[in-house]
Amino acid sequence: MDGALLTILQILVYTFVFVVGTVALGLVILYILDVNQTEHAIRRNFPIIGRFRGLFERLGEFFRQYFFAMDREELPFNRAERSWVYRAAKNIDNTVAFGSTRDLRPTGTVLFVNCPFPTLEVDAAPPHPITIGPHCKNPYTTDSLFNISAMSYGAISKPAVLALSNGARMAGCWLNTGEGGLSPYHLEGGANLVFQIGTAKYGVRNHYGVLDDEKLREVAAHERVRMFELKLSQGAKPGKGGILPGAKVTPEIAAIRGIPAYQDSISPNRHPEINTNGDLLDMIERIRTVTGKPTGFKTVIGAYGWLDNLFSEITKRGVESAPDFITVDSADGGSGAAPMSLMDNVGLPLRESLPLVINKLTEYGLHERVRVIASGKLITPTEVAWALCVGADFVNSARGFMFSLGCIQALRCNKDTCPTGVTTHNPKLQRGLDPKRKAVRVANYARNIVHAVGMIAHSCGVPEPRKLRRYHARIVIENGRSVPLTELYPEAVPKNKPLEQAQTIGH
């Protein structure tokens, strides 16, 4: 017995010595490598210890998110915003106790003006239907208010697309395919779809990357494809095309897009064949004629003088030539991968660009003809209601619906290592995203947004959200006081309407 115990002790000692020796040898090797390399100054000056710098930088994101950041100070979305979406998606109680943690003093804070006699529940109404593309062969009429913005199959995973398409069907809203083409998973859910045509024409391009009318017809033949959106630019990267890292370009995704597998999918920074407003209107008319379905474009507003030229050209050609809708994206929009220089610095935020577009459409008498979809960081009822007050007809959200799928803002969208399975093609990580369960959460989130915006509308004294107007909201300015939205963004005067009549708008 003593001999056996002695043998065990010897084995443990030898193992310990071996492990310690191996670790020591490894540290010596790392030390030699660090002091002799010239790429990293920190590691050269502080061998071994300097290697922890990168680890701490990566961990810092998560420690700030869960331990150090206050509820309403984190970016791009703070904990309070994410928590609201999570509760809405789970369809659990979204009331709060004691008092709001929202500071009402910062410049830009939106305040809605309650009515002394709010709308009674018996007088409340659902969002009224709107027809998009009245001059099309197949116009699209919908009462959907809050919809799923563009996220392509490739940028997000198969289970994520399945959950979104099924959830959109359940909620009665539409799903934008993103610029990556039409996948079987978009169709499988049975949702109404908006097919986005990016600058690379994925899914509707020929061998040379040029728009192919026959492929357009094939896509349009699907009944669930209701509209076509020509993407000029998006909020996170104005002036830059889509970016899908090669690690995420699987053979299936490559086949859908019509590109080689496992190579970076980089779209041109604009449509090569669209050089003028006339070219833009010609392309919209071509797509609309070939497909028979409403066609519009998505853009970030920057050099906004071109809107006057565009709308003047439409006036010359006739209202039938106008785009059926314009999706106005914000400079604070999101993306799976974008250059920081563009994401941080280029384009106008929605707070400035949306009122501008609405006013220009009103000025040229086109607002009833051209429907406006607001997009860009609108994930809670406050932002959605604000966009409706300004004049948007619809609101789109991508990241809000990502949160409803379980996204934790890990900021790994471009790495194919998303821990929740939303933006990765790693089967082990996708396993955590159950499309059936998450589809219910997608639907819950869409319904609860509309319900909450309805409550704001009723408090303001109108029966349904689309009746909200600019005078229903106020904005806090630099001196801490609030001013009506109509003062910051006065209603436009239609060119064909007498001034005294136009001044009654909004009163």
Half-sphere exposure for 222 (CA within 13 Å, toward CB)? 21
Provide the total of helices (H) and of strands (E) in the chain, helices listed first: 18, 15
Chain segment 459-472, per-residue pLDDT in tens: 999 999 999 999 99
- Digitized pLDDT (tens) for each residue of the chain, 507 residues in all: 567 777 778 788 888 888 888 988 988 898 888 888 776 655 776 788 877 766 665 555 555 555 555 555 555 666 777 778 888 888 887 776 666 777 778 888 899 999 998 888 888 888 999 999 999 999 999 999 999 999 999 888 999 999 999 999 999 999 999 999 999 999 999 999 999 999 999 999 998 889 999 999 999 999 999 999 999 987 666 666 777 778 788 888 888 888 888 888 878 888 999 999 999 999 999 999 999 999 999 999 987 789 999 999 999 999 999 999 999 998 776 665 556 666 666 778 899 999 999 999 999 999 999 999 999 889 899 999 999 999 999 999 988 898 899 887 877 777 778 888 888 888 888 888 889 999 999 999 999 999 999 999 999 999 999 999 999 999 999 888 999 999 988 988 887 654 334 333 333
pTM of the model: 0.83
Instruction: Calculate the alpha carbon distances from 351 to 379, 384, 462, 466 in Å.
Output: 14, 12, 23, 18
Rounded-to-integer distance, Cα 8 and Cα 202, Å = 65
Nearest CA-CA partner of 378 in 147, 80, 57: 147
Rounded-to-integer distance, Cα 47 and Cα 51, Å = 7
Terminal CA-CA length for the chain: 98
Chain segment 171-220, per-residue pLDDT in tens: 999 999 999 999 999 999 999 999 999 999 999 999 888 999 999 999 99
Instruction: Calculate the alpha carbon distances from 498 to 318, 367, 381, 391 in Å.
Output: 22, 17, 36, 21
Per-position DSSP letters for 124-167, written without gaps between them: --PPPPEEE-TTSSS-EEE---EEE----BTTB-HHHHHHHHHH
